[in-house]
Structure 1
Amino acid sequence: MASDIDETGRRVPRQERAARRVDALLDAAGEVIAERGFEAATMTEIAARAGASIGAVYQYFPNKDALVLALRTRYGAEMDAKWSALFAEAVEVPVPVLVDRLFDLMVEFMASHPAYIPLLSVSLNFRRDAAARNRLRERFADLFRLRKPALDAAEAYRLAEVTLQIVKSLNLLYAPAKPKERKLLVAEYKIAVTAFLLARIG
């Protein structure tokens, strides 16, 4: 067999050729959703953009929700790699520099993945694994304890939750804003998060 079935009912490729086809479908889905929005994007258009038959799309994605979940999962993996690079040096840099890099990473990611913002508001019938949802909070909590060893685990995790909730709230304001306003919003968020972290972890 060239693939397995995951919990969403979609076929997951195991062979390199099949994996490349799925990557092409996800690339096409990202392009179409960025241009037309989630609701207007169709599986037929995504197939055509990828140079594939509609049957090939449904072979791997039983519906549009499954396709979007796979795209979100891919974005999550890419973002996780970027977080890892950030955390590798985060203990050594001053808090304002850390916050600058954190938001710059997010802004660059949104610019290079134009479907990311439209997908934020899409409600899917699938839920992320709890461990996956908590992984980033735990990494931030670990970072905060490295920077301030006096923090206990519960307090560090709470600070991580608050930090990430503030950071995530940027998305709601950022999505509809004009380019100039987006820059101003990011600057305000950097001030807010820097002040919070300086007060809590120095």
Structure 2
Amino acid sequence: MLTNKETALLDAATELIREKGMIALNMSDVHKKAGYSRAAQYQSFSDKNSLLAALCMRELVQSTTAIEEQRYKELTADFTVVLRPVVYDYLKLSDRLMIDSAFGNMLKCVEALPEVEQFSFLKQGFAFLHAERTKAKNT
């Protein structure tokens, strides 16, 4: 469970990524936008890696929960972080393993969705993404 501070920092990071892009994300901008001190930020996220890993996990958990609770409209939101190869490649191995596990859980939920037109694009997208991730790991 995230604290209010962690949620504010992750929200700020998400907004900054949407505004400036992933490459321009700067830890200094995150704590300022969230209204916290630099020290407070580093108590929660020691570096950019830990911040990005937390963003990935939050997106995966929220999406998996939305599927499990049949709140499908929430799935149409764009993924800010987790589906970007540049983020995944940046993460430490331990964080990649954690993300892979959470992604696997979400993929199972997507595959279990009813075979209706509403979900066909989502299912095709995740099947493609799974194939791309598998191919990238094997190279």
Same fold (TM over 0.5): yes
Change (3 A) 1:75 1:163: closer
Q: Which amino acid aligns with 2:51?
A: L
Partner residue, 1:164: 126
| Aligned residues of 1:25 and 1:47 also touching (Cα < 8 A) | yes
Provide the secondary structure at the position in 1 that maps to 2:39: helix
Partner residue, 1:61: 45
Q: Tell me the distance in 1 between the aligned counterparts of 2:82 and 2:57.
A: 15
Q: Compute the displacement of 1:137 (Å).
A: 3.8
Provide the secondary structure at the position in 1 that maps to 2:9: helix
**Offset from partner CA, 1:80-134 (integer Å, 9 cap, x none):** 12211339xxxxxxxxxxxxx6xx654x311xx6xx1686132222213354333
Measured on the aligned residues, the alpha-carbon RMSD in Å equals 3.3
Choose 1 or 2 for highest CA Rg: 1
Structure 1 length as normaliser, TM-score?
Answer: 0.48
Question: Which consecutive aligned stretches of 4+ in structure 1 deviate over 6 angstroms post-superposition?
Answer: none
Q: Tell me the distance in 2 between the aligned counterparts of 1:22 and 1:117.
A: 16
Partner residue, 1:4: none
| Aligned residues of 1:34 and 1:118 also touching (Cα < 8 A) | no
Structure 2 length as normaliser, TM-score?
Answer: 0.66
Which of residues 93, 103, 112 is equivalent to 1:133? Answer: 103
The count of corresponding residues between Structure 1 and Structure 2 is 117
Provide the secondary structure at the position in 2 that maps to 1:72: helix
Change (3 A) 1:67 1:138: same
Match runs of 1:35-50 below 5 Å: 35-50=19-34
Provide the secondary structure at the position in 2 that maps to 1:62: coil
1:34 aligns with 2:2: no
Provide the secondary structure at the position in 1 that maps to 2:69: helix
1:85 aligns with 2:49: no
Provide the secondary structure at the position in 2 that maps to 1:165: helix
Q: Compute the displacement of 1:40 (Å).
A: 1.0
Change (3 A) 1:139 1:24: closer
Q: Tell me the distance in 1 between the aligned counterparts of 2:107 and 2:14.
A: 27
Gaps of 5+ in 1: 1-11, 14-18, 88-100, 148-160, 170-202
Change (3 A) 1:76 1:138: closer
Q: Which amino acid aligns with 2:57?
A: T
Which of residues 64, 72, 75 is equivalent to 2:56? Answer: 72
